[in-house]
Structure 1
Amino acid sequence: MSIKDRFKMIMEREKLTAGAFAESIGVAQATISHILGPRNKYPSTEVILRLHQRYSDINLEWLLTGQGSMSNDAEASASTPENIGADYPLFAENAENPDKGTDEPENRKEMALAKPLNTPKEIVKQEIIYKERPPRKITEIRIFFDDNTYETFKPA
């Protein structure tokens, strides 16, 4: 198994796309694309350390060599995708997010926000200035015909 496959396994476990995975460990999306791409570029030490820093439960030896289990935690390794939900009831109460009850419906989108202050509108005055031009006179009239000729008329 290559390091590319191990990166893919971590992404599958975390249910992340390449872009989201790159953002989560603080590297450019192109970096992850190069690692997962057909060229099999080996990730830099910095990328591996950032990944291990973000996902500290990942066994560093497994990440580098493929030896051992993926996770340092015994519980986390037991919760592989095949084992998830095997002994956990579907509607069990969650210890991390206990049920608050349905006495008060909470929908933050429907909560009223502070009313905006009515600011007075700025009055804009606009002046129209008419300038008189001196009277214009016709000096020449030309009529063009379809046979490419024209006639010119000039006032007397």
Structure 2
Amino acid sequence: MINTEAFTKRLQKVIDYYGETASSFAEKIGVQRSSISHILSGRNKPSLEFVLKILSAFPEVELYWLLNGKGEFPAIKKSVDVKPVDIKPEPPPVAIQEKIQFETKKEKTIESIVIFYTDGSFKNFKN
């Protein structure tokens, strides 16, 4: 069960953090001004739709923090260190290499090699 009084304090913290008024906050999340007013005054409890609209409009707000007060606000984005990977195609198996060498001795040249992957994608290597 959500603690309405604590939720109201967290909602006010979100509004203050973004420097919004109740009216501008209501406009940004797509609800009527009275909805914000009634929740802040404790008259109404927030609906799931109301909470989801906040999360959609303000990605720094975490659901668990908003509902239970646990976690961080604003949400700390964890960065992932991504390093580029140089992917080199593996050489074909020896049997294919031998066949390619055999066929190239007959004055033939390879025009292209197509590799099909199980996910439906492919790579086309042209000479």
TM-score normalised according to structure 2 size? 0.54
The whole-number CA distance in structure 2 between the counterparts of 1:16 and 1:35 is 16
- Give, in whole Å, the separation in 2 of the partners of 1:6 and 1:72: 13
* Structure 1 gap segments, 5+ residues each: 76-156
**Higher relative helix content:** 2
Output the amino acid matched with 1:18: A
Larger radius of gyration between Structure 1 and Structure 2: 1
Q: 1:73 Cα deviation (Å)?
A: 2.3
Q: Greater relative contact order: 1 or 2 (C-alpha under 8 angstroms, separation 6 or more)?
A: 2
Hey, which bits of structure 1, 4+ residues long, moved more than 6 A?
none
Cα offset for 1:71? 2.4
The aligned residue for residue 69 of structure 1 is 72
Distance 1:63 1:5 in 2: 10
**1:19 aligned onto 2:23:** yes
Task: Note closer, same or farther for the CA distance 1:49–1:38 as it changes in structure 2 (3 Å cut).
Answer: closer
Identity %: 34
- Choose from 3, 8, 31 the match for 2:7: 3
User: 1:108-132 deviations in whole A, cap 9, x for unaligned?
Assistant: xxxxxxxxxxxxxxxxxxxxxxxxx
- Whether the 8 Å CA contact 1:3–1:42 is kept in 2: the answer is no
Give distance in 2, aligned partners of 1:57 and 1:16: 15
C-alpha separation in 1, matches of 2:77 and 2:13: 18
CA distance in 2 between partners of 1:69 and 1:31 (Å): 25
Structure 2 gaps, min length 5: 79-127
How many residues end up aligned between the 2 structures?
A: 74
Q: CA RMSD in A?
A: 1.6
What letter corresponds to residue 21 of structure 2 in structure 1? T
TM-score (norm 1): 0.45
Do residues 52 (structure 1) and 51 (structure 2) align? no
